[in-house]
Amino acid sequence: MKRAFKIAPLVLVLSLLPSTGHAPTPRIRALAPVEHLAAGSEKPVGVVVDEASGMIFVSDRREGTVTRVAPEGAKRLILRRLKKPVGLALDGEGRLLIVEEGRGRLLRRELSGLTVLASGMRSPRWIAVAPEDGVVYLTRPRSPRRPPG
């Protein structure tokens, strides 16, 4: 597996295996209906939609969980015991990527369980996957400057 890290002031870049394809960028309608999917969640922060299956994934930072919402609305808890899961994305193969802020890790959900793709990061938050080449972008908050001396 090829892994390349590039650290910029706010972005960490992780290049995974190139994907064989990706979903086209969806068109967003300005007046599209909005549905509240995270009712009962303590602090829902991350959301990603798998357009191929219609599944929606929501992370709850406070509860340490990720919930899958089926197209008909049925909810299923698919991950628990995470430490502050925040950003969610899908890679080119449609696998769920989870940013675990509390442990400084990037995880990938596999059929066999979770795979740690990157660790040791300081407060990673949000994630995006470039559809052209599968490069994963992670952001983190700006570190406060230390006073000189």
Going residue by residue through the chain (149 aa), what tens digit of pLDDT does each one get? 444 444 333 444 454 444 445 555 556 555 555 555 556 677 788 999 999 999 999 999 999 999 999 998 899 999 999 999 999 999 999 999 999 999 999 999 999 999 999 999 999 999 999 988 889 999 988 766 666 65
Is 6 a member of any domain? no
Cα 68-74-80 angle, rounded to 5 deg: 35
Q: Give residue 109's domain range.
A: 42-129
Tokens of 82: 């995470």
Domain count for the chain, please give it.
1
pTM of the model: 0.74
Is 16 a member of any domain? no
| Contact (Cβ atoms closer than 8 angstroms) between residue 91 and residue 16 | yes
Is 106 a member of any domain? yes
Say which DSSP state 104 is in: T
Report the CATH number that the domain containing residue 99 is assigned in CATH: 2.40.10.500
